[in-house]
């Protein structure tokens, strides 16, 4: 991968623990198929970070090199208060690991906040949704489309503000075809826009907005608008855009959700 530089010390040991370059590793914050996210401290400044350590061999075996490059390149471009910041990328001397030094966000996923505490008030939900739209709008103005917006990809900082993360499925201008549309089917089933399921090309901004509508619904209701154990049945519900909006929501919230969860991207609110 041409996006990283080598840095010494991928596994240097200090008296306190393992070092990655100038960063001392702490507890594991998360673990995936090809990576681990570790808490880390800059031994020079004392500042806290999250370091995503990627295994090059696993990335090659899973054939996701392009996805990782896209995530790194996209994260380098984006500088916004509601998007997790990428500070630095480097590789180990032996070239077996890639390290992404990320902003450390302490409040966990929005998914767990709702799962543990239930739906939020409209006042609290309004604040989070405004921040989400602010971050997503900024991405779109940079020509970047997330394509996997979901509760699990929204983190909360120590003051309860959101941070959008995980741009592995993002699209850049060069990913558009000659028709001006995107054609790669991606995203998470419960959040995916109906036009992506139609497999006829889609507008990245409109698809992201649909996912934001699913997130808003979940924030205010405590559950997802489209649910079914059968994937084909789930996709039919999404494709038709049939959703039962809770009656306890205010008329304004209900109207906004209807405008966003419009199965037609041509008439969906932008």
Place of tokens 């998914």: 111
12 within 8 A of 18, measured Cβ to Cβ: yes
The closest alpha carbon to 260, from 249, 269, 251, 248, belongs to 269
Binding residues: 52
List own/partner pairs for 184-192 with CB under 8 A and 24 or more apart.
186/147, 186/148, 187/147, 187/148, 187/211, 188/148, 188/150, 188/152, 189/231, 189/234, 189/235, 190/150, 190/214, 190/224, 190/226, 190/227, 190/234, 191/148, 191/149, 191/150, 191/215, 192/238
Q: What is the C-alpha to C-alpha distance for residues 140 and 231, in angstroms, rounded to an integer?
A: 29
Is 228 an active-site residue?
A: no
Task: Please identify which of the residues 61, 66, 134, 148 carries the catalytic annotation.
Answer: 148
Q: Which residues of 61-90 are buried (b: 16+ CB within 10 A; e: fewer)?
A: eeebeebbbbbbbbbeebebebbbbbebbb
Q: What is the C-alpha to C-alpha distance for residues 147 and 153, in angstroms, rounded to an integer?
A: 11
Residues belonging to the chain? 270
The closest alpha carbon to 23, from 91, 101, 75, 85, belongs to 101
Q: What is the C-alpha to C-alpha distance for residues 133 and 209, in angstroms, rounded to an integer?
A: 8
Binding residues for ATP: 52
Residues labelled as active-site residues: 148
């Amino acid at each position: 991968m041409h996006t990283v530089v080598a840095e010494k010390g991928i596994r240097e040991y200090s008296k306190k623990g393992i070092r990655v370059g100038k960063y001392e590793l702490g507890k594991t914050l998360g673990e995936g198929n090809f990576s681990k996210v570790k808490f880390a401290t800059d031994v020079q400044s004392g500042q806290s970070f999250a370091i995503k350590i990627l295994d090059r061999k696993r990335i090659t075996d899973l054939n996701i090199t392009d996805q990782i490059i896209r995530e790194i390149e996209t994260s380098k471009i984006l500088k916004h208060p509601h998007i997790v910041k990428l500070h630095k990328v480097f590789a180990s001397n032996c070239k077996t690991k890639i390290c992404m030094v990320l902003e450390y966000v302490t409040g966990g996923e929005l998914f767990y906040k709702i799962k543990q505490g239930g739906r939020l008030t409209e006042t609290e939900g309004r604040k989070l949704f405004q921040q989400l739209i602010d971050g997503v709008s900024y991405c779109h103005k940079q020509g970047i489309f997330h394509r996997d917006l979901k509760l699990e990809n929204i983190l909360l900082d120590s003051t309860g503000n959101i941070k959008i993360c995980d741009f592995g499925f993002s699209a850049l201008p060069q990913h558009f075809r000659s028709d001006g549309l995107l054609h790669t089917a991606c995203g998470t089933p419960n959040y995916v826009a109906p036009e992506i399921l139609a497999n006829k090309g889609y507008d990245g901004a409109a698809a992201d907005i649909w996912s934001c509508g699913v997130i808003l619904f979940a924030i205010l209701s405590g559950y997802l608008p489209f649910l079914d154990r059968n994937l084909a049945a789930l996709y039919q519900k999404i494709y038709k855009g049939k959703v039962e909006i809770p009656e306890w929501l205010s008329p304004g919230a209900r109207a906004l959700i209807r405008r966003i969860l419009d199965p037609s991207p041509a008439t969906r609110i932008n």
